[in-house]
Amino acid sequence: MIEKLQAPKGVPEYVPPNGDLFKYVRDELAAPAIAAGYRYIELPYFEDFNLYARGIGESTDVVSKEMYTFTDRADRILALRPEGTAGVIRSVIENSLTQQGLPVKIWYAGAFFRAEKPQKGRYRQLQQVGIEAIGAENPALDSEVIALGYHAFKNLGLSSFELQITSLGCFNCRPGYREKLIKFLAEVKLDDETRKRADINPLRVLDDKRPEIQSLIINAPLMLDNVCNECRDYHEMVLKYLDHHGIPYVVNKRLVRGLDYYTKTTFEFVHHGLGAQSGIGGGGRYDQLMFSLGGQDLSGIGYALGVDRALIAAESENINLEQRLPDLVCVVPTDSEFNVNAFKIADLLRESGIVVDQVTHTKNLKNGLKVANRLTAKCAVIIGDDEVRTGIYTVKWLATGEQNSVPLDELVTQISQHLPLAEKPKKDD
C-alpha cells in the first residue's frame, strides 16, 4: 500500500471553505494600503543568507535560531525569507526604485518561514501582508502607516485589539542608553545563552518573553526614558498625528520588536483574545537599514500584519466572515444536452460580476439542485427545454424554495437585486 503524504508540521493549510475566508482576510488587510496608493511588489521566497544577517541582525532569534537555510549547487548559502522588509529594501536598491520619486510606497503579501515550535497562531509558514514607505522621515508618514494598519484590522470588524507604541531612539541616543542597560544587566544573573546574547546586543534581552527573564529585568532602564530631545519631540508629534487621526493607542515603554533594524517609532497591534500569541501585527521605523544593505542613506517605515492570526482573532470575536463572501449562483441544466445553453447563461451572469458555478456533471434536475445546495448557492438558474425554447428562465431560491420566471434580458437585474446583501463591518465612529 502506498504511504499517504502529509503537509509538513507547523504549516497550516486553508482548504475550502476556509480557504475563501483566508483570502478574504488577506484582501481586507491589504485594502487600506491599496486605497492609499501603495504599489504591489512580488518578492523572492529565498534570498542570500547575508541579506538577513546584515539586515535583521545576527543576534536576533530570527537569524540565529529560526531561519531555514540551505546551500545551493554553487555553494551559496541561501535562506527562506523570514520577513519582508529586508527583501523589499534589497529590491528597492537593486531596481533603483528611488529614482521614481520619494517616498517609495510598496505593499506585499505572501508566506514567510521560521523554524518555530508549532502552536496555534505560531507557524513555521506564516502569512503576512506588509507595507513599506521608504525615503521620508516625517511623523506624519509614521502616523499614516500606523493608521493604515489600524484600519486594516477594523475592516475585518475586529474590536478587541490594542495599538501599543514606543520609541526606540536613534543612533545618537542609543549608545548612552546601551551603557546604562549593560551596567544593569551585569548585575543580573543570566543563563549563559542569554548572557551571550546580551554581550552582542543587550536590547535583545528585553525582547525575551520567558517569565523568568522578565522577572529579572523588571527594573531595567527603558529606551523611551532615555531618548534624546529630538527623538522625544519626534515621538510626541507621531502621537499628536495619531490623535488627529482618531487612532487610539497605549504607550508601552517596554515594547521591543524582535528585529535589530528598528529605530524611533515602533509599534505593535495586540489582540486580547489570543493568549500568548497576542501580536497580530506590528512594525516601525528603520533609519539606517537601507544604508547598511548598500543603498542610499534613506529612512523608512513599515509594518507586517499576520493573516493567520487575524483570522484566528476574527474567530475569537465570533465575527461571521462567511456572510461577507460573494453569494454563489448555480446554473443547473436539466440534462447534459443543455450544457451549451448553460455555458452561455453562466458567462452572461459572470460578465456582470455575479459568482457563478455551472453544474455540468448532473444526471437530472433533482441531482443538480442537490449539488447547488451542497455548494450553499443562493439560487439556481434552471436550464431546460422550456427555458431554451421560450427564453424565460426559472430561478429557484434555495433557502425558501421560491421560484420565479425571468426573461433573459432581465436575468442579471433580477438576480442582482435579490441576492442578500453581504454583511459589512461597521465604520469607525
Residue ranges of domains in the chain: 18-173+227-316, 326-418
Pick the CATH number of 18-173+227-316 from 3.30.930.10, 3.40.50.880, 3.30.565.10, 3.40.630.70: 3.30.930.10
Tens digits of per-residue pLDDT, 26-67?
A: 999 999 999 999 999 999 999 999 999 999 887 777 888 899
The pLDDT mean for the chain works out to 93
pLDDT above 70 for 321: yes
Pick the closest to residue 41 from 78, 94, 115, 102 (CA basis).
Answer: 94
Distance CA 48, CA 293 (A): 12
CATH number for the domain running over 326-418: 3.40.50.800
For the stretch 330-380, pLDDT in tens is 999 998 889 999 999 999 999 999 999 999 887 789 999 999 999 999 999
Q: Residue 53: CB partners within 8 Å, gap ≥ 6?
A: 63
Closest CA to 154 of 266, 31, 68: 31
> Strand ranges (DSSP E) for 252-359?
263-271, 279-286, 300-306, 328-333, 355-358
Work out the end-to-end distance of the chain between its first and last CA atoms, rounded to an integer number of angstroms.
61
Whether residue 103 has a cis bond before it, omega within 30° of 0: yes
Statement: residue 151 has pLDDT above 80? yes
Residue 210 is predicted with a pLDDT of 86
Rounded to the nearest 10 degrees, the angle between the axes of helix 229-245 and helix 139-155 is 40
The label of the residue with cell 535583521 reads: 56
Q: How many CB atoms lie within 10 A of CB 307?
A: 26
Look at residue 173 in the predicted model and tell me its pLDDT.
93
Distance CA 318, CA 297 (A): 46
